[in-house]
Amino acid sequence: MESTVSAAGLVVRRFSHRDLPQIRQALIDVHADAYGDAMDDEFNQRFPWFVDHWGGHPEFACVIAYDGDEPVAFAYGAPANPDREWWREHLEPAPEKDRTFSFSELAVRTTWRKTGTAERVSRALLADRDEDLVVLLVDREHPRVQALYESWGFRKVGDRRPFPDSPVYAVMLAGLPLAA
Ligand SMILES: CC(C)(COP(=O)(O)OP(=O)(O)OC[C@H]1O[C@@H](n2cnc3c(N)ncnc32)[C@H](O)[C@@H]1OP(=O)(O)O)[C@@H](O)C(=O)NCCC(=O)NCCS
Protein backbone atom coordinates (compact mmCIF):
# COMPACT_ATOMS: atom_id res chain seq x y z
CA MET A 1 0.00 0.00 0.00
CA GLU A 2 1.26 3.47 -0.82
CA SER A 3 2.05 5.56 2.17
CA THR A 4 -0.41 8.42 2.49
CA VAL A 5 1.78 10.36 4.88
CA SER A 6 5.13 11.99 4.32
CA ALA A 7 7.85 12.94 6.78
CA ALA A 8 8.37 16.13 4.76
CA GLY A 9 5.26 17.77 6.24
CA LEU A 10 6.21 17.12 9.84
CA VAL A 11 7.48 19.78 12.20
CA VAL A 12 10.33 18.67 14.45
CA ARG A 13 10.62 20.34 17.85
CA ARG A 14 13.35 20.07 20.48
CA PHE A 15 12.74 19.79 24.19
CA SER A 16 14.79 19.65 27.38
CA HIS A 17 14.49 18.58 30.99
CA ARG A 18 12.36 21.57 31.96
CA ASP A 19 9.79 20.70 29.26
CA LEU A 20 9.08 17.24 30.68
CA PRO A 21 5.68 18.03 32.26
CA GLN A 22 4.52 19.45 28.92
CA ILE A 23 5.67 16.51 26.73
CA ARG A 24 5.37 13.55 29.13
CA GLN A 25 1.94 12.37 27.97
CA ALA A 26 2.86 12.76 24.28
CA LEU A 27 5.84 10.43 24.81
CA ILE A 28 3.66 7.87 26.62
CA ASP A 29 0.98 7.99 23.91
CA VAL A 30 3.39 7.62 20.98
CA HIS A 31 5.21 4.81 22.77
CA ALA A 32 1.94 2.91 23.44
CA ASP A 33 0.93 3.20 19.79
CA ALA A 34 4.39 2.24 18.50
CA TYR A 35 4.73 -0.81 20.72
CA GLY A 36 1.15 -1.95 20.03
CA ASP A 37 0.69 -5.62 21.00
CA ALA A 38 4.00 -5.63 22.85
CA MET A 39 2.34 -3.43 25.50
CA ASP A 40 1.14 -6.69 27.13
CA ASP A 41 4.73 -7.01 28.28
CA GLU A 42 5.20 -5.74 31.84
CA PHE A 43 8.59 -4.26 31.00
CA ASN A 44 7.03 -2.09 28.28
CA GLN A 45 4.30 -1.04 30.71
CA ARG A 46 7.02 0.52 32.87
CA PHE A 47 7.72 3.11 30.17
CA PRO A 48 6.32 6.07 32.23
CA TRP A 49 8.94 5.28 34.87
CA PHE A 50 11.65 5.43 32.17
CA VAL A 51 10.28 8.73 30.85
CA ASP A 52 10.56 10.23 34.32
CA HIS A 53 14.00 8.71 34.85
CA TRP A 54 15.46 10.01 31.59
CA GLY A 55 13.45 13.23 31.60
CA GLY A 56 14.74 13.88 35.12
CA HIS A 57 18.31 14.10 33.82
CA PRO A 58 19.31 17.78 33.75
CA GLU A 59 20.78 17.30 30.26
CA PHE A 60 17.83 15.30 28.88
CA ALA A 61 17.41 15.99 25.15
CA CYS A 62 14.26 15.10 23.22
CA VAL A 63 12.98 15.61 19.70
CA ILE A 64 9.31 15.17 18.79
CA ALA A 65 7.87 15.19 15.26
CA TYR A 66 4.38 16.68 14.93
CA ASP A 67 1.74 16.37 12.24
CA GLY A 68 -0.07 19.58 13.07
CA ASP A 69 -0.82 19.21 16.77
CA GLU A 70 -0.42 15.44 16.79
CA PRO A 71 2.89 14.00 18.04
CA VAL A 72 3.82 11.11 15.72
CA ALA A 73 7.38 10.20 16.69
CA PHE A 74 10.06 10.95 19.25
CA ALA A 75 13.70 10.31 20.01
CA TYR A 76 15.40 11.07 23.31
CA GLY A 77 18.48 10.50 25.40
CA ALA A 78 21.04 12.11 27.71
CA PRO A 79 24.81 12.16 28.17
CA ALA A 80 26.18 8.87 29.55
CA ASN A 81 27.87 8.74 32.95
CA PRO A 82 31.64 8.54 32.34
CA ASP A 83 32.99 5.00 32.89
CA ARG A 84 29.46 3.61 32.99
CA GLU A 85 28.68 3.88 29.29
CA TRP A 86 26.78 0.88 27.88
CA TRP A 87 29.72 0.07 25.56
CA ARG A 88 32.45 0.32 28.22
CA GLU A 89 32.78 -3.36 29.20
CA HIS A 90 32.83 -4.42 25.55
CA LEU A 91 35.66 -2.31 24.12
CA GLU A 92 39.29 -2.89 25.10
CA PRO A 93 41.03 -0.57 24.61
CA ALA A 94 38.34 2.08 24.96
CA PRO A 95 38.13 4.64 22.17
CA GLU A 96 40.45 7.60 22.80
CA LYS A 97 37.61 10.07 22.49
CA ASP A 98 34.91 8.60 24.67
CA ARG A 99 32.37 11.25 25.63
CA THR A 100 29.12 9.44 24.93
CA PHE A 101 25.48 10.29 24.35
CA SER A 102 23.02 7.54 25.38
CA PHE A 103 20.25 7.37 22.78
CA SER A 104 17.64 5.90 25.08
CA GLU A 105 14.41 5.62 23.09
CA LEU A 106 12.96 5.98 19.62
CA ALA A 107 9.34 5.36 18.65
CA VAL A 108 7.21 6.13 15.60
CA ARG A 109 3.43 5.74 15.45
CA THR A 110 2.46 2.79 13.26
CA THR A 111 0.78 4.98 10.63
CA TRP A 112 4.07 6.86 10.19
CA ARG A 113 6.34 3.85 9.67
CA LYS A 114 8.52 3.66 6.58
CA THR A 115 8.24 7.38 5.91
CA GLY A 116 11.76 8.32 6.98
CA THR A 117 10.40 9.75 10.22
CA ALA A 118 12.50 7.47 12.45
CA GLU A 119 15.68 8.64 10.71
CA ARG A 120 14.54 12.25 10.73
CA VAL A 121 13.94 12.45 14.48
CA SER A 122 17.07 10.40 15.24
CA ARG A 123 19.32 12.62 13.12
CA ALA A 124 17.66 15.75 14.51
CA LEU A 125 18.36 14.54 18.07
CA LEU A 126 21.99 13.72 17.32
CA ALA A 127 22.79 16.64 15.01
CA ASP A 128 23.63 19.18 17.69
CA ARG A 129 25.36 16.84 20.17
CA ASP A 130 28.98 17.57 20.97
CA GLU A 131 29.82 14.09 22.33
CA ASP A 132 32.25 11.82 20.44
CA LEU A 133 30.04 8.73 20.47
CA VAL A 134 26.41 7.68 20.54
CA VAL A 135 25.30 4.38 22.04
CA LEU A 136 21.91 2.64 22.00
CA LEU A 137 20.35 -0.68 22.95
CA VAL A 138 18.17 -2.71 20.60
CA ASP A 139 16.31 -5.92 21.42
CA ARG A 140 18.32 -8.82 19.99
CA GLU A 141 15.06 -10.36 18.80
CA HIS A 142 14.47 -7.36 16.50
CA PRO A 143 17.20 -7.86 13.86
CA ARG A 144 15.38 -5.63 11.35
CA VAL A 145 15.57 -2.70 13.76
CA GLN A 146 19.24 -3.50 14.32
CA ALA A 147 19.74 -3.45 10.54
CA LEU A 148 18.08 -0.04 10.40
CA TYR A 149 20.59 1.32 12.91
CA GLU A 150 23.45 -0.30 10.99
CA SER A 151 22.30 1.58 7.89
CA TRP A 152 22.81 4.81 9.87
CA GLY A 153 26.39 3.83 10.81
CA PHE A 154 25.95 1.98 14.12
CA ARG A 155 27.79 -1.29 14.79
CA LYS A 156 27.12 -3.93 17.40
CA VAL A 157 29.77 -4.10 20.13
CA GLY A 158 28.18 -6.52 22.62
CA ASP A 159 25.09 -7.70 24.46
CA ARG A 160 23.51 -6.28 27.60
CA ARG A 161 20.54 -7.00 29.87
CA PRO A 162 20.18 -3.85 31.99
CA PHE A 163 17.32 -5.15 34.16
CA PRO A 164 16.37 -8.71 35.16
CA ASP A 165 12.99 -8.37 33.40
CA SER A 166 14.27 -6.55 30.32
CA PRO A 167 15.09 -8.17 26.98
CA VAL A 168 18.71 -8.92 26.12
CA TYR A 169 19.83 -6.02 23.98
CA ALA A 170 22.50 -5.58 21.35
CA VAL A 171 24.73 -2.63 22.31
CA MET A 172 25.22 -0.46 19.24
CA LEU A 173 27.78 2.30 18.89
CA ALA A 174 28.47 5.03 16.32
CA GLY A 175 30.81 8.00 16.09
CA LEU A 176 29.38 11.53 16.11
CA PRO A 177 28.51 13.25 13.93
CA LEU A 178 26.73 10.38 12.16
CA ALA A 179 27.85 9.88 8.57
CA ALA A 180 25.38 11.36 6.08
C1 LIG B 1 11.97 1.15 15.21
C2 LIG B 1 11.12 2.16 14.45
C3 LIG B 1 11.32 3.55 15.06
C4 LIG B 1 11.58 2.18 12.99
O5 LIG B 1 10.65 2.88 12.21
P6 LIG B 1 10.81 2.93 10.60
O7 LIG B 1 12.11 3.54 10.26
O8 LIG B 1 9.60 3.56 10.08
O9 LIG B 1 10.99 1.46 10.15
P10 LIG B 1 10.01 0.21 10.27
O11 LIG B 1 8.88 0.47 11.21
O12 LIG B 1 9.72 -0.24 8.91
O13 LIG B 1 11.01 -0.81 11.03
C14 LIG B 1 12.16 -1.30 10.39
C15 LIG B 1 12.11 -2.82 10.43
O16 LIG B 1 12.14 -3.21 11.82
C17 LIG B 1 11.00 -4.02 12.14
N18 LIG B 1 10.52 -3.63 13.48
C19 LIG B 1 10.21 -2.38 13.89
N20 LIG B 1 9.84 -2.38 15.19
C21 LIG B 1 9.92 -3.65 15.59
C22 LIG B 1 9.66 -4.29 16.83
N23 LIG B 1 9.26 -3.60 17.92
N24 LIG B 1 9.83 -5.63 16.88
C25 LIG B 1 10.24 -6.35 15.82
N26 LIG B 1 10.54 -5.79 14.61
C27 LIG B 1 10.35 -4.47 14.51
C28 LIG B 1 9.96 -3.66 11.09
O29 LIG B 1 9.07 -4.74 10.89
C30 LIG B 1 10.83 -3.41 9.86
O31 LIG B 1 11.18 -4.65 9.24
P32 LIG B 1 11.26 -4.78 7.65
O33 LIG B 1 12.39 -3.88 7.23
O34 LIG B 1 11.53 -6.22 7.45
O35 LIG B 1 9.92 -4.31 7.12
C36 LIG B 1 9.61 1.82 14.52
O37 LIG B 1 9.40 0.58 13.86
C38 LIG B 1 9.05 1.70 15.94
O39 LIG B 1 8.66 2.70 16.55
N40 LIG B 1 9.03 0.46 16.48
C41 LIG B 1 8.52 0.19 17.81
C42 LIG B 1 9.43 0.79 18.86
C43 LIG B 1 10.87 0.26 18.75
O44 LIG B 1 11.10 -0.90 18.52
N45 LIG B 1 11.82 1.24 18.92
C46 LIG B 1 13.24 0.93 18.81
C47 LIG B 1 13.85 0.71 20.15
S48 LIG B 1 15.58 0.31 19.97
CA-CA distance, 26 to 137, in Å (whole number)? 22
pLDDT at 77 over 70: yes
- Cα 142 to middle of ligand 1, angstroms: 8
- Cα 113 to middle of ligand 1, angstroms: 8
pLDDT at 165 over 90: no
Question: Which residues, in sequence order, are CB contacts of 169 under 8 Å at separation 6+?
Answer: 137, 138, 139, 140, 159, 160, 161, 162
If one residue of 39, 47, 145 were mutated to test the ligand 1 pocket, choosing by the most ligand atoms within 8 A of its CB, it would be 145
CB atoms within 10 A of CB 86: 21
Strand bridging mode 11-16 / 70-79: unpaired
Give kind and range of the element (H or E) at residue 23. helix 20-35
In this predicted model, what pLDDT tens digit does every residue of 1-10 receive, in sequence order?
344 567 778 9
pLDDT at 140 over 90: yes
Q: In what order do the strands lie in the sheet with 133-139?
A: 11-16, 61-67, 70-79, 100-108, 133-139, 169-175, 155-160
pLDDT at res. 119: 96
In this predicted model, what pLDDT tens digit does every residue of 24-50 receive, in sequence order?
999 999 999 999 988 888 888 999 999
pLDDT at res. 122: 98
**Beta carbon of 138 within 6 Å of any ligand 1 atom:** yes
CA-CA distance, 129 to 100, in Å (whole number)? 10
Atom of ligand 1 nearest to the CA of 137: 48
Q: Which domains does the chain show, CATH number per domain?
A: 8-175 (3.40.630.30)
CA-CA distance, 33 to 134, in Å (whole number)? 26
**Helix ranges (DSSP H) in 36-142:** 42-45, 47-55, 117-127
Bridge partners of residue 132, in order along the sequence: none
- Cα 145 to middle of ligand 1, angstroms: 5
Question: Which residues, in sequence order, are CB contacts of 178 under 8 Å at separation 6+?
Answer: 123, 126, 134, 152, 153
- Cα 83 to middle of ligand 1, angstroms: 30
pLDDT at res. 31: 97
